[in-house]
Amino acid sequence: MKAVALTRPLPIADPQSLVDVELPKPSPKGRDLLVKVEAVSVNPVDTKRRMAEKTDAAPKVIGWDAAGTVAAVGEQVSLFSVGDDVYYAGDVGRPGSNSEFQLVDERIVGRKPKTLDFVKAAAMPLTSITAWEAFFDRMKIDRGGKDGGKRLLVIGGAGGVGSIGIQLARLAGLTVVATASRNDTVQWVKGLGAQHVINHREPLKPQAEALGFKDFDYIANFSGDLDSYWPAMSELIAPQGYAVAIVGNTKPMSLDAFRMKSASFCWEFMFTRPRFQTADMIEQHRLLNQVADWLDAGKLKCTLTEAMSPINAANLRKAHAKLESGTMIGKLVLSGWA
Ligand SMILES: NC(=O)c1ccc[n+]([C@@H]2O[C@H](COP(=O)([O-])OP(=O)(O)OC[C@H]3O[C@@H](n4cnc5c(N)ncnc54)[C@H](OP(=O)(O)O)[C@@H]3O)[C@@H](O)[C@H]2O)c1
């Protein structure tokens, strides 16, 4: 089967950073589906993993966001059948989706939204899982609306995670203040439903106060920077509030402000469930199906903004370069095998 792989960490401008390869087609066992991959999205985890690989390793397939069709199933599969269209992020501990066929555990796979083609569907899974788990599983926001009217600050509103996060938060009835720093991203986050926008290149607290927000019940830092925003998050978290981050800190973080306010700080890592095979990993199947229902019902909008074809090393190098520029709005998807 065709695949795009890396063998050693190289800057994306190097033609050897991602290369076209032929690999054996895998066979499913147990609860695995073998999926014929039709479209893949790119995420910052891809660029980070690309640079983290050991030198001269065997070809490694990365990419964890896909839509495709079930081509074969393991003997214990019960949720899907051959021919079903699916979308999923997968497991960062296993080969990724930048290959014609991929094995994935059925418990972390959802049915593809019927109203979206493969390209649009592939834009959604990884970021939807991240934002959903951050809000509803980590910060315990009630998705049925019982927390309606509470105030949420989304740092990094226009990225992949922020773009679906703003929409999920509005569906749960929250009042959303999102951050964006360029005209295009300000317009984008407003279009997704953010009621207010502030600029993350300027101090956040005075901007929030000018809008009448002295603090926030929830803060979701969906940017790739926790260190720089931690002081503002500490100032802006409400007493007994919840904050979540999706990247690690590289400097020590004082928890004193959170302690004084009895506020909670949570991490969200969307690969935790598959990586540790948690007893509730089937929650990713359920949430992807719910997101598919909401996309089909028009309650959520697809966050795709850029598409390329085919899926090959040259196009994936362009896609990684775009992500590494830090200017991505919404999602970028590649589709088809030449
Ligand atoms: N833990 C997890 O499970 C998980 C899951 C997904 C992603 N992540 C991580 O979360 C981060 C964001 O991922 P993503 O896919 O949303 O990224 P992305 O799509 O590449 O984000 C691009 C956006 O980031 C904004 N941005 C750039 N610099 C910023 C800054 N200093 N502060 C705030 N926003 C900034 C830009 O908006 P402006 O142009 O308006 O500045 C741009 O639109 C990445 O580091 C990724 O690795 C973690």
Phi, psi of 144, rounded to the nearest 5 degrees: -85, 0
- Nearest Cα residue to atom 23 of ligand 1: 159
Please state, in angstroms and as integers, the Cα–Cα distance from residue 179 to each residue in 4, 12, 152, 176, following that order.
35, 28, 11, 10
Q: What is the pLDDT of residue 55?
A: 67
Q: Tell me if the pTM is above 0.95.
A: yes
Give the atom of ligand 1 at the shortest distance from the alpha carbon of 133: 3
Name, in order, each residue with C-beta under 8 angstroms of 67's C-beta and a sequence gap of 6 or more.
Answer: 37, 38, 39, 85, 86, 87, 112, 118, 119, 121, 122, 125
Ligand 1 neighbourhood includes 219 CB (under 6 angstroms): no
The C-alpha atoms of residue 333 and residue 309 are separated, in whole angstroms, by 9
The C-alpha atoms of residue 308 and residue 215 are separated, in whole angstroms, by 41
Distance of CA 328 from the midpoint of ligand 1 (Å): 8
Q: In testing the pocket of ligand 1, which one of 42, 43, 183, 275 has its CB within 8 Å of the most ligand atoms?
A: 43
Ligand 1 neighbourhood includes 182 CB (under 6 angstroms): yes
- Nearest Cα residue to atom 33 of ligand 1: 156
Residues 112/87, Cβ–Cβ less than 8 Å? yes
- Determine which helix (DSSP H) or strand (DSSP E) holds 197, and give its type and residue range: strand 196-198
The C-alpha atoms of residue 247 and residue 76 are separated, in whole angstroms, by 35
Q: Is the pLDDT of residue 115 over 90?
A: yes
Q: What is the pLDDT of residue 180?
A: 98
Ligand 1 neighbourhood includes 155 CB (under 6 angstroms): yes
Q: Are strands 85-88 and 101-105 parallel, antiparallel or unpaired?
A: unpaired
Q: Give the burial string for 138-151 (b: 16+ CB within 10 Å, else e).
A: bbebebeeebeebb
Distance of CA 270 from the midpoint of ligand 1 (Å): 15
Give residue for tokens 């834009």. 123
- Determine which helix (DSSP H) or strand (DSSP E) holds 256, and give its type and residue range: helix 256-260
Q: What percent of the chain has pLDDT over 70?
A: 99
Q: What is the pLDDT of residue 54?
A: 75
Q: What is the pLDDT of residue 4?
A: 97
Domain spans in the chain, listed from the N-terminal domain onward: 2-124+280-335, 128-267
Q: Are strands 19-22 and 2-5 parallel, antiparallel or unpaired?
A: antiparallel
Ligand 1 neighbourhood includes 246 CB (under 6 angstroms): yes
The C-alpha atoms of residue 18 and residue 242 are separated, in whole angstroms, by 40
Please state, in angstroms and as integers, the Cα–Cα distance from residue 189 to each residue in 5, 65, 81, 84, 154, following that order.
34, 22, 38, 33, 10
Q: What percent of the chain has pLDDT over 90?
A: 97
pLDDT tens string 13-71: 999 999 999 999 999 999 999 999 999 999 999 999 999 877 667 899 999 999 999 99
Ligand 1 neighbourhood includes 47 CB (under 6 angstroms): no
Ligand 1 neighbourhood includes 156 CB (under 6 angstroms): yes
For the chain, the average pLDDT equals: 97
Of the candidate CATH numbers 3.50.50.60, 3.40.605.10, 3.30.365.10, 3.90.180.10, the domain formed by 2-124+280-335 belongs to: 3.90.180.10
pLDDT tens string 82-108: 999 999 999 999 999 999 999 999 999
119-145 average pLDDT score: 98
pLDDT tens string 183-214: 999 999 999 999 999 999 999 999 999 999 99
Distance of CA 31 from the midpoint of ligand 1 (Å): 33
pLDDT tens string 279-337: 999 999 999 999 999 999 999 999 999 999 999 999 999 999 999 999 999 999 999 99
Name, in order, each residue with C-beta under 8 angstroms of 107's C-beta and a sequence gap of 6 or more.
Answer: 31, 79, 281, 282, 284, 285
The C-alpha atoms of residue 331 and residue 328 are separated, in whole angstroms, by 7
Question: What's the topology of domain 128-267?
Answer: Rossmann fold (3.40.50)
Ligand 1 neighbourhood includes 130 CB (under 6 angstroms): yes
The C-alpha atoms of residue 337 and residue 164 are separated, in whole angstroms, by 28
